[in-house]
Structure 1
């Protein structure tokens, strides 16, 4: 499990592709790999991957084709920066909200607004996922736990303070970028339960 509090920015060093599999070599800040073990889970732009090898501060991860298809990891290239979070441990503070590291869908940044002292990012998601997107609800974007601002159709925004921009790759965001989305599990459970009970149907009362 993860908390949605991004622990830093790492850099893709190398990507090796083979049939059905891609291996990512990602270089982390030295202090962030202390105590890491083979088999440990690390969220890379919100996607839970397993450490398969370590070379000093470079960690190796394998991603199957299904993972590449469902996430933005297939878009990465050497030199790209990513958000990362190592798996939470019992007793850690949950500063965001609990995440599984399993990506539901991707979204596209369609507009970036820069009012004084903050940035507002507008995202567009596939229509089938809008049922889980509510104003003031939780959502994880590239592994960062964020609060949804406004929702308009299949678009929503988040407001980012300077510290979030500094500590994550959102400070380098550009319109057209794709991001990984993990829907809040509690929101998904409530919406799906109400749908099974028929409460998502339009009223037929006169």
Structure 2
């Protein structure tokens, strides 16, 4: 599990292409290295990856075909940076919201509005179905960052970013048309899906009652 509080950015030093997967070698911030071992979990742009090799500050991660397909990690090139966070411990402060590191879809940046000490970014999810889980003032994970949803339309939503978030994460460098990873708040997803299931069962029961023969 992760908290959505990005601990830094890491540069992708090299990418090794293999059959149906690839290996990313990144340079993690020095403060993230103590205790890092093979098998540890580190989120890259919100996607949970497993450490496969540690060589000083150079750390390797394997990305499977499905990960490359469903996230923006497959678009990375050497020299690019990713938001990184090590897995949370029980003693950690949850400054954001609990995140699993499992990306549901990506979203395209479709509008950027700059104002003094603030930036408003609008996103259009690739999978329109996830919009039912995105609620005004609800939580959402964007490239591994725990953020609060601003306004919401039928097909888009926005977030408001303070200078600290822009400086500490890759969102400060994002441009129109680029894609970000989206993780939906699991509690919101569970509530919405439960309500949908209950309403569907109620509708099915009413339909069955209406179609049944009248009692004599």
TM category (shorter chain) comes to over 0.9
Q: How many residues align?
A: 203
* Residue 92 (structure 1) aligns with: 92
Distance in 2, matches of 1:171 and 1:34, equals 27
User: Partner of 2:212 in structure 1?
Assistant: none
Partner of residue 5, structure 1: 5
Offset of residue 28 of structure 1? 1.4
The 5-angstrom pairing of residues 20-99 of structure 1 reads: 20-99=20-99
Cα shift readout 1:108-133 (whole Å, capped 9, x = no counterpart): 00011101101110000121111001
Match of 2:129 in 1: 128
Whole-Å separation in 1 of the counterparts to 2:68 and 2:141:
18
Q: Partner residue of 2:103?
A: 103
Match of 2:113 in 1: 113
More moved, 127-136 vs 24-33: 24-33
TM-score normalised by L of structure 2? 0.91
Residue 199 (structure 1) shift: 7.0
Which whole-Å CA distance do the structure 2 matches of 1:53 and 1:14 have between them? Answer: 14
| Structural RMSD (CA) | 1.6
Moved over 6 A (4+): 199-202
| Unpaired stretches in structure 1, ≥5 consecutive residues | none
Displacement, 1:200? Answer: 11
Q: Which is higher, the Rg of structure 1 or of structure 2?
A: 2
Q: Residues of 2 paired with 1:201 and 1:10: CA distance?
A: 50
- Contact kept, 8 Å, 1:194 with 1:200, in 2: the verdict is no
TM-score (norm 1): 0.95
Partner Cα separation in structure 2 for residue 37 and residue 71 of structure 1 = 25
Cα–Cα, structure 1 residues 200 and 139, in superposed 2: closer, same or farther, change >3 Å? farther
CA distance in 1, matches of 2:136, 2:43: 26
Shift of 1:171: 0.8
Deviation at 1:31, TM superposition (A): 2.1
